[in-house]
């Protein structure tokens, strides 16, 4: 098995193990999903201006739903795990490298969300103050930085792919074989990313805005000086946990 296939399967196995653990503990599951919902709502608030801007709406929504969404991808992940060797054979190397980063981002996000959920076990809900406290308790600044870098790398790759006519043509030609091999969900994700970034007039500007805002927020969350105010969207978020 190739190194890419081994890495992708390793990340998917990590996600599967986390999901199995969470499924056995209803209270932990409620907090785990609460963290995801909080982060999804926070992202929507942080990028409300881009979501409202016709020039950036598609890209912002792609990030919100595909890279920052609270969705349970268990069924998709299980499908991917079964056909990873076929995936590596069927898709061009550049795309496989991006799928590898996507699987790493997925596993890293799940692991950090689980750590956040554990840090909230004594809490009855989640608001900006509790989120900040849990974030600092979990720590892992290097992994938080890696999470942002992976998200940006995937965006840059999708933007780069749109300028490669051969790659775009190859992806379109893969529709039938991809569906036949059980890769329809991956095909849809890649084509959605292609279409989104092809329509984006200034992808570099968009990605720079994402990087700047995410890093500023992470810096404030990690700072021990709680007089430093988080962006206003944190003040409006308050989630109760329903186990």
pTM: 0.86
d(CA 65, CA 40): 8
Q: Is the model's pLDDT at 243 over the cut of 60?
A: no
DSSP, collapsed to helix, strand or coil, labels residue 95 as helix
pLDDT at 168: 72
Residues 138 and 116 sit within 8 Å (Cβ to Cβ): yes
| Contact between 32 and 112 (Cβ < 8 Å) | no
pLDDT in tens, 150-180: 988 988 888 888 777 777 777 777 777 777 7
Kindly tell me if the per-residue pLDDT of 84 is higher than 70. yes
Place of tokens 């969705």: 71
- Whether 145 shows a pLDDT value over 80: the answer reads yes
CA atoms within 13 A on the CB side of 165: 0
The pLDDT, as a whole number, for residue 73 is 66
pLDDT at 113: 95
Is residue 171 classed exposed, middle or buried when 0-12, 13-18 and 19+ CB atoms within 10 A define those classes? buried
**Residue range 134-151: average pLDDT?**
94
Q: What is the mean pLDDT of the segment spanning 175-200?
A: 74
Cα 184 off chain centre by: 19
| DSSP letter, residue 55 | T
pLDDT band at 72 (very low <50, low <70, confident <90, very high): low
| pLDDT score, position 164 | 76
Q: What's the mean pLDDT when you consider all of the chain? A: 84
Q: What are phi and psi for residue 238, nearest 5 degrees?
A: -155, 110
When pLDDT is averaged across residues 63-85 and rounded to a whole number, the result is 72
Is 15's pLDDT higher than 80?
Answer: yes
pLDDT for residue 91: 77
Residue 134 has pLDDT above 90, yes or no: yes
Give residue 81's pLDDT band: very low, low, confident or very high (50, 70, 90): confident
> What is the extent of the structural domain holding 162?
3-240
pLDDT value of residue 119: 94
Number of domains into which the chain is organized: 1
The mean per-residue pLDDT over the stretch 23-46 comes to 91
């Amino acid at each position: 098995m190739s190194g890419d296939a081994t890495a992708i399967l390793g990340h998917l196995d990590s996600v599967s193990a986390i999901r199995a653990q969470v499924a056995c503990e209803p209270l932990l599951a409620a907090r785990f999903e609460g963290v995801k919902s909080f982060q999804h709502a926070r992202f929507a608030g942080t990028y409300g201006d881009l979501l409202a801007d016709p020039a950036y709406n598609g890209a912002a929504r792609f990030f919100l739903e595909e890279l920052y969404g609270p969705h349970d991808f268990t069924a998709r992940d299980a499908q991917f795990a079964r056909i990873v060797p076929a995936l590596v054979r069927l898709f061009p190397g550049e795309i496989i490298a991006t799928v590898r980063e996507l699987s790493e981002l997925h596993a890293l996000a799940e692991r950090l969300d689980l750590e956040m959920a554990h840090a909230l076990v004594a809490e009855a809900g989640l608001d900006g103050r509790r989120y900040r406290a849990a974030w600092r308790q979990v720590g892992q600044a290097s992994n938080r930085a890696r999470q942002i870098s992976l998200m940006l790398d995937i965006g840059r790759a999708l933007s780069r792919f749109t300028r490669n006519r051969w790659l775009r043509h190859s992806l379109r030609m893969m529709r039938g074989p991809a569906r036949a091999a059980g890769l329809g969900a991956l095909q849809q994700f890649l084509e959605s990313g292609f279409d989104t970034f092809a329509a984006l007039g200034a992808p570099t500007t968009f990605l720079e805005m994402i990087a700047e805002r995410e890093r500023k927020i992470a810096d404030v969350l990690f700072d021990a000086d709680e007089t430093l105010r988080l962006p206003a969207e944190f003040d409006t978020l308050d989630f109760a946990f329903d186990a």
